[in-house]
Amino acid sequence: MKQLRFWAGMATLMLAAPAVYAQDTQLTVTPQKASGIYRSGETVRWKIVTERWATPTVVRYSLKANNSEVLQSGDVVIGPGNPAEIAYTASKPTMLMLDLQQAGGKVRQFGAAVAPEKLRPVHARPADFDAFWDGMKSKLRALPMNPKVTPGPSNRQGVDYSLIQLDHINGTKVHGQLARPSKPGKYPAVLVLLWASPPYRLWSDWVTDRASQGFVVLNIEPHNVLPTEPQSYYDNLPATLKNYSDINQEDRTTNYFVEMYLRGVRAVDYLMQQPDWDGKTIIVTGTSMGGQQSIAVAGLHDAVTHMIVHVPAGTDLNGVQHGHQQGYPSFRANSPKAMAVAPYVDGINFAPRIKAKSLVSMGFIDTVTPPNGIWTMFNQLRGPKEVAPMMDSPHNNLATADMQLPFTERSAEWFAAIAAGRALSPKAYKN
């Protein structure tokens, strides 16, 4: 596959004399900029040092653009008094991924962003994108919801809890759980959308915890499955359903994610019918595939006022054709039909429709939901927006709490401000 080469740069390496291999010598890697964000034409640098008593060690490195195109690779020798510096000057916007590995050791990864605010889509938005989705929403709304509400026990004092079921397209259902403050009043609403995995049950604290903060909270299954069954129910679901991302990748109308996204639209419509909704505020939020759904729902539903998403999936789905690492849900790159459907699912193409205030995170060394696509999506948002860059972070399920602090701390501030009715102004990042 031909990869477009947009980056012109140079690398400088400070090398020591020949050394013996040492496994897993303690290395300290320090970026020149703590933010990990550089301007176009600015040299990106990492300094690598070892303990003063360590045996000199050879470290193999590979520097890649968008975790795909290898820009440089080789060996550096590091020992006491002999640090190494890996430097690269990128003349175009890109995400950089540095892999370091000692002989027999694990690969360590480090990331940097070069002029990320200038990243743009590499694949054209379909001319009929809006018409397609407006048609699918009309099909959905022609179908009555027929809500069924089953009150259940709440694990939080002062919070009411129920299971809900709504009719949905293709003869399916929307299954979910709803929590609200017991105290009469008017409250902002939150739709919680879930991450990828073979289907799993919902747990009540996913809604009751947030409801105790002063929200009406709805959390739905991404799939047409019951929400609170024993684990054996989910274990015995068909293998096809457990591999749902492969379902109808070559047909945009029946693609699995189209039904999934519309499930979120139906959920927002239902939230708007709640008598204790404040009539003003609807937040969509989720992590990974939950963020992917949130982007689509915010783009499809004008009532959404805030979008808070953590390492969202589903962006840059055609980027693999342009020298980018492919991320979840990995539409088949060798299928022209799948690649033609992917843009109708891609969050980058929903972003221009989004007017909500948005908080978006990305991990610079995330290989599940690569940061290039997330930042490109962020750049297409039309409403007030704030980015939470996580320079040291892989995907959320592999990251430590400290790695994710830029998002978790700021998202907590967003929710607290919204619950209190305080003004919320997105912050600009610094490079």
Residues 52 and 182 in one domain: no
| Ordered alpha helix ranges (H), 147-230 | 205-211
> What is the DSSP code string of 208-263?
HHHHTTT-EEEEE-SSSS-SS--HHHHHTS-HHHHTGGGTTTT-TTT-HHHHHHHH
Strand order in the sheet with 94-102: 37-38, 108-114, 94-102, 57-65, 69-78
Strand order in the sheet with 43-50: 27-31, 43-50, 84-89
147 or 90: whose pLDDT is higher?
A: 147
pLDDT confidence of residue 1? 31
Q: Which residues pair with 31 in a beta bridge?
A: 46
Question: Which pLDDT tens digit goes with each residue over 212-242?
Answer: 999 999 999 999 999 999 999 999 999 999 9
CA 242, distance to chain mean position in Å, is 21
Number of compact structural domains in the chain? 2
pLDDT confidence of residue 16? 31
CA gap 194, 341 in Å, rounded? 23
Residue 284 maps to a domain: yes
Residues 304 and 236 in one domain: yes
Residue 10 maps to a domain: no
pLDDT confidence of residue 22? 37
Residue with tokens 């679901």: 237
Residues 196 and 268 in one domain: yes
Q: Is 26 exposed, middle or buried (0-12, 13-18, 19+ CB in 10 A)?
A: exposed
In the DSSP assignment, the letter for residue 92 is S
With the CA atoms of 396, 217, 360 and 36 taken in that order, what torsion angle do they form, in degrees rounded to the nearest 10?
-40
Q: Hey, how many other C-beta atoms are within 10 angstroms of the C-beta on 363? A: 29
CA gap 412, 319 in Å, rounded? 32
Question: Which pLDDT tens digit goes with each residue over 335-359?
Answer: 999 999 999 999 999 999 999 999 9
* Domain's final residue, options 97, 118, 139: 118
- CATH number of the domain that residue 103 is part of: 2.60.40.1930
Question: Which pLDDT tens digit goes with each residue over 103-142?
Answer: 878 999 999 999 999 999 999 999 999 999 999 999 999 9
Q: Residue 398 contacts by C-beta under 8 Å, 6 or more apart in sequence?
A: none
* Domain's final residue, options 92, 118, 144: 118
Residues 71 and 212 in one domain: no
CA gap 371, 307 in Å, rounded? 18
From residue 321, alpha-carbon distances to 214, 332, 339, 341, 385 in Å are 45, 11, 9, 14, 29
- CATH number of the domain that residue 152 is part of: 3.40.50.1820
pLDDT confidence of residue 23? 44
Residues 322 and 369 in one domain: yes
Residues 110 and 165 in one domain: no
The identity of residue 106, as a single letter, is K
Residue 190, CA atoms < 13 Å, CB-side half-sphere: 30
Residues 152 and 160 sit within 8 Å (Cβ to Cβ) = no
Q: Which residues pair with 287 in a beta bridge?
A: 310
Residue 202 maps to a domain: yes
Domain region containing 59: 27-118
pLDDT confidence of residue 93? 96
Report the share of the chain in percent with pLDDT over 70: 94
Residue 287 maps to a domain: yes
From residue 204, alpha-carbon distances to 210, 219, 338 in Å are 10, 9, 37
Residues 187 and 98 in one domain: no
Residues 117 and 374 sit within 8 Å (Cβ to Cβ) = no
Residues 102 and 182 in one domain: no
pLDDT confidence of residue 46? 96
pLDDT confidence of residue 428? 83
Buried b (16+ CB within 10 A) or exposed e, 139-171: ebeeeebeeeeeeeebebeebbbbbbbbebbee
* Domain's final residue, options 118, 149, 175: 118
Average pLDDT for 361-386 = 97
Residue 111 maps to a domain: yes
pLDDT confidence of residue 53? 75
Residues 361 and 237 in one domain: yes
Residues 47 and 184 in one domain: no
From residue 319, alpha-carbon distances to 46, 326, 362, 367 in Å are 27, 6, 17, 13
The identity of residue 256, as a single letter, is Y
Residues 135 and 68 in one domain: no
- Residue 7 predicted with pLDDT over 60: no
pLDDT confidence of residue 347? 98
- Residue 13 predicted with pLDDT over 90: no
Residues 351 and 295 sit within 8 Å (Cβ to Cβ) = yes
Residue 13 maps to a domain: no
CA gap 151, 133 in Å, rounded? 34
pLDDT confidence of residue 25? 63
Average pLDDT for 142-162 = 97
Which of 168, 180, 181 has the alpha carbon at shortest distance from 221? 168
- Residue 17 predicted with pLDDT over 60: no
Question: Which pLDDT tens digit goes with each residue over 33-88?
Answer: 999 999 999 999 999 998 877 788 899 999 999 999 999 999 999 888 888 999 99
| Average pLDDT over all residues of the chain | 92
Q: Is 279 exposed, middle or buried (0-12, 13-18, 19+ CB in 10 A)?
A: exposed
H and E: helices and strands count for the chain: 10, 17
CA gap 157, 175 in Å, rounded? 24
- The token pair at 227 is 């929400």
Residue 395 maps to a domain: yes
Residue 372 maps to a domain: yes
Residues 68 and 184 in one domain: no
